[in-house]
Amino acid sequence: MSTDTTIADARVSSMANAIRALSMDAVQAANSGHPGMPMGMAEVATVLWGEYLKFDPSAPDWMDRDRFVLSAGHGSMLVYSLLHLSGYANPTMDEISRFRQLGSPCAGHPENFLLPGIEATTGPLGQGLAMAVGMALAERHLNAKFGDDLVDHRTWVIAGDGCLMEGVNHEAIGLAGHLGLGRMTVFWDDNDITIDGPVNLSSSEDILLRYQAAKWHTVRCDGHDADSIRAAIDAALADPRPSLIACKTVIGKGAPNKQGTSAVHGAALGPDEVAAARKELGWTAEPFTVPDEILSDWRKTGERGKAAHAEWNERLENAPNRGDWEQHMMPVGDLASAAVERFITDLAKEPKTVASRKASEMVLGPLTEKLPSLVGGSADLTGSNNTKTKFTDPLTAENYGGRYVYYGIREFGMSCAMNGMALHGGVVPYGGTFLIFSDYARNAIRLAALQQTRVVFVLTHDSIGLGEDGPTHQPIEHVMSLRLIPNLNVFRPADIIETAECWALALETSDTPSVLALTRQNLPQLRGKGDENWSRLTNKSARGGYRLKSAEAERKVILMASGSEVHLATEAAKMLEADGIGADVLSMPCLDLFEQQDAAYKEELLPEVNPSEILRVSIEAGVTQGWERYTMARGLNIGIDRFGASGRAEELFERFGFTPEAVTAKIKAALAGN
């Protein structure tokens, strides 16, 4: 590190103590929080932010900034202190003083949607580090496309023992090492303490050897010695591999009676210990006050980044590929709809009977051709998920410019990495696995929704229709359980046209992730007539549910279904009509979007009448719970409220009553009051 950026040791100490003071004051005021980690990692954070990190406090979304992720999100006061001290507009000192209180952006764990400068929502341990892998991957991919002049930044992570113990850590570091993401550095807060007590109560593994086995560079440092920290960072920067820096620290450093114990991990120090810590640190300022000289030192840390940002703006202004850059960074919604428009209008002329997973692959062809920011992948199920196209070459350590990631059997790690890619920007990620394995990835899917990221989870083999693999692989509760996650659009398309429409919608919604639940078995094309002049304005799936077929005889039944069961509903409707029973058929590809429609539209499809006059029926090859919202108390819910069985798909559908004859019989019995 050059002498013009190196901070004198005495200044590092006083700047670090500002972090300690703010952290213990905020936690004490809230009487809730985790002061130990921020106090223990204060010198590491000071050296990183003061001498190495590239950032501009006046432009938190500058594309070529370094990414800093506090994976150990429970220690949130560390990043709140860093943002405030280094000159970000928020959090203000007033907001810090209301730490963890309703209305303050200084939440218990960092939330990316509350504060500019928070790169990721962290707290579920391990996921911050795993998302950082996606950020580092996005940086290398964009660098390969646009060069060092426009993309040349690093990803830095502070993680604790919990982050390194969680299973997703193994998945994440394996992927990062395999892809050689050498511009990623993780600082491990090696303080030997967890909530329960010393780490040796639960763990005796050699962390550095594990990382080395995953093709990482490792180095140790004294986390309270600035020169040792610098030497470790410089060693990491000089190595082409991703790096783990083991920072030996004392948790709660500065609290004389509690430091080094689990007592400072997750509780306020108490007024007596706060007073003792102030004396120990020589900190005489009042609570939530930083002396002007120290604050001035901190505010200088952002000046390097402001200059670097100005230089980057100048390079962009004069870049020969500026037009390509700006086009790449444009919203993809219009392009997505344009890409599927011809696809759908062609289907109106030549219908296709294909599985919706195959339909997804077919529509991904024009999407990946027209949208260069789309980066796909699969958790070792490429041939089953149908997520690769001829336009997506493999993204490897030798070719970061590729657009298809082989994630390996790492469903959770893949989903976290996709979140990180989306948060980084410049990349629109999608990735596939079986729907049943969404259980492995569920918390990352939830975080995608919470963080408002545009990630597309392609989840195939969506029912007992997958067949012989049996109940361990046959999702029953999964579609409905995913619908429970707020701000997540769960699409279950009925045919190839709906599949294309759902893809267009998934790519239009920049603040909402999407699930595409797709079949293994073939589905007939139910749409075509009326779609000859399709456009995004006529996208029927956009309303979440629509009338596919109107009753011919007097309406007595409203059938509603999603996915593969929509065709079943249309066949049952034909049989009912043959007996003079009028039946509407509603296709419901996305209940989440249907819930957003106005009352008049819902009333048009589902009129409020006596159940004895019109019977509402739901049909879905999954749990029936949840459909009562639409069928009402005396409606009929046809589904599967038990685990499946091993056998051919058609045999399973017959056994579980998913045939037109069985469905029609149940409806007639319900109409008769039986």
Active site residues: 411
Q: Is the peptide bond before 91 cis (omega within 30 degrees of 0)?
A: yes
* Number of Cβ within a 10 Å radius of residue 491: 29
Strand 404-406 and strand 456-460: the pairing is unpaired
Q: What are phi and psi of 41, to 5 degrees?
A: -100, 15
Half-sphere exposure in the Cβ direction for 286 (13 Å, CA): 3
Rounded Cα gap, residues 377 and 385, in angstroms: 9
- 8 A C-beta contact, residue 616 and residue 606: yes
DSSP state of 65: S
Within 315-365, strands assigned E span 354-355
Q: What are phi and psi of 285, to 5 degrees?
A: -70, 155
Strand 197-198 and strand 193-194: the pairing is antiparallel
Q: What are phi and psi of 531, to 5 degrees?
A: -100, 10
Q: SS3 of 673, please?
A: coil
Task: Provide the phi-psi class of 640: left if phi over 0, else alpha when psi is between -120 and 50, else beta.
Answer: beta
- 8 A C-beta contact, residue 186 and residue 135: no
Sign of CA dihedral 133, 138, 139, 141: positive
Q: What are phi and psi of 379, to 5 degrees?
A: -90, 65
302, 444, 503, 531 from 527: Cα distances, Å: 57, 34, 16, 7
319, 357, 501, 503 from 531: Cα distances, Å: 43, 21, 11, 16
- 8 A C-beta contact, residue 251 and residue 24: no
Q: Which two tokens stand for residue 566?
A: 């929509």
Strand 354-355 and strand 522-523: the pairing is antiparallel
Strand-pairing partners, residue 491, are: 516
- 8 A C-beta contact, residue 78 and residue 158: yes
* Number of Cβ within a 10 Å radius of residue 114: 15
DSSP state of 118: -
DSSP state of 437: G
Q: 481-490: buried (b, 16+ CB within 10 Å) or exposed (e) per residue?
A: bbbebebbbb
Q: Which two tokens stand for residue 466?
A: 């997958």
Rounded Cα gap, residues 85 and 306, in angstroms: 16
In sequence order, which residues have a C-beta less than 8 Å from that of residue 94 and are 6 or more positions away?
none
- 8 A C-beta contact, residue 265 and residue 34: yes
Strand 428-434 and strand 197-198: the pairing is unpaired
Q: SS3 of 159, please?
A: strand
- 8 A C-beta contact, residue 539 and residue 506: no
- Angle in degrees, CA 153, 154, 156, rounded to 5: 150
Q: SS3 of 181, please?
A: coil
Rounded Cα gap, residues 527 and 591, in angstroms: 19
Q: SS3 of 491, please?
A: strand
